[in-house]
Amino acid sequence: MQDNNKYLISIIISTYNDKNLRDALQSLRNQTFKNFTIILINDGGNDLKEIINEFSDLNIKFINLIKNQGLSKCLNKGIREVNTKYIARMDSDDLCLPRRLELQIKYLEENNLDLIGTSIINKSKKDIYSSKIGHFINNKQIEKITLRYVPLAHPTFFGKTDLFKKILYDEKLRYSQDYDFIVRCIINRYKIGNLNIPLLIYNNEMSNNLNKIFLQIKISNEISRKYNSFKKKLESYKLDYNLINRKISLYEENCIGLRSKIFRLKNIYIRKLGYIIYFLVSCFSKELRIFNYRNIR
């Protein structure tokens, strides 16, 4: 294990053949807060020695995996290596704005919180726009949002190492790990907040894998359903992994294909009209109907 006691923050990054990794590391090099170390996990991808050598001024703990293991397992491997007080998350295709670490640690400590996120700037080939997530300090507000969807942007997670080591990520989940993570943080009575300042540029490219999108929808539906049942004291919070793995139908595949095309439309008014059409067409799928309802109500 790396001797990183002298550092205050460990930044965990999992990557797989990401061409944007250099830019991500450069954004960390530009941080105003310098007391951090990086745990970089190569999830079965190409050799990264050349890139790591380019950033020799950064303290990088490198974990090289022979086979691809997925995000949850990689993040847990990183968490188990940490020996600092705080952990920060980011993805290898995102960019941290210069004051991210400085402002997050200040906000977390001043408000006596255990885990926080920030607002983000969404970036894709077609759009760049700020995504504001409310300035929630009160756990009840966070809990209310979490009944419908994840309240914090995953790449902006910043919190106490003790929390990450106790909660860990569910390694059975391929997607929506962050949603499940937040739910279990709330159940374990951790204090969660969000800093309503954009401190990360998020690469928000739409996936072309329709099965992947459907699986993300199904998993998030299951997490929301189980958490709602838990809050109503109807059952314990335990996910049904068999239900999550149901394959997409041809009808659902066509609906999600339509949704993907609408996301790529340049004209905002045509895009809004497209959303309405998609919403009406997708109502005949239980999973899509539940997902749409959760995100608009």
Tell me the CB-side half-sphere exposure of residue 154, using CA atoms within 13 A: 20
* Domains present along the chain, CATH in parentheses: 9-203 (3.90.550.10), 210-296 (no CATH)
Q: Which residues contact 2 (CB under 8 A, 6 or more apart)?
A: 37, 39, 61, 81, 83
Look up the pTM and report it.
0.91
Q: Which two tokens stand for residue 236?
A: 């314990």
pLDDT recorded at residue 3: 47
Q: Write the DSSP string, 72-128.
A: HHHHHHHHHH--SSEEEE--TT-EE-TTHHHHHHHHHHHTT-SEEEEEEEEE-SS-E
Over the stretch 127-166, which tens digit does the pLDDT of each residue have? 555 555 555 566 778 888 999 999 999 999 999 999 999 9
Backbone φ and ψ of 58, nearest 5°: -90, 145
> Whole-angstrom Cα distance, residue 181 to residue 227?
12
Residue holding tokens 């969807």?
Answer: 149
**pLDDT score recorded for residue 50:** 94
Average pLDDT, the chain: 89
DSSP H stretches of helix in the chain: 21-29, 49-54, 71-81, 100-110, 139-146, 161-167, 177-187, 210-231, 241-244, 250-263, 268-281, 286-296
The pLDDT, as a whole number, for residue 104 is 97
pLDDT of the residue at 137: 60
C-alpha to C-alpha distance for 188 and 206, rounded to whole angstroms: 33
* Contact (CB, 8 A) for 36 and 10: yes
Cα end-to-end distance, the chain, whole Å: 47
What is residue 131's predicted lDDT score, i.e. its pLDDT? Answer: 56
Distances (CA, A) of 223 to 89, 113, 253, 279, 280: 21, 24, 22, 22, 24
Q: What is the CA radius of gyration of the chain?
A: 19
Residues in the chain predicted with pLDDT less than 70, given as ranges, are 1-5, 124-138, 205-206, 243-244, 297
Give the burial class of 208: count Cβ atoms within 10 A of its Cβ; 0-12 exposed, 13-18 middle, 19 or more buried: exposed
Rounded to whole angstroms, the Cα distance separating 296 from 137 reads: 23
Contact 142, 193 (CB under 8 A): yes
Q: What is the pLDDT of residue 272?
A: 87
Quick count: other Cβ atoms within 10 Å of Cβ 146?
A: 23
Q: pLDDT value at position 4?
A: 46
Q: pLDDT per residue over 230-251, tens digit each? A: 999 999 999 988 866 778 889 9
pLDDT tens-digit readout, 112-133: 999 999 999 887 655 555 555 5
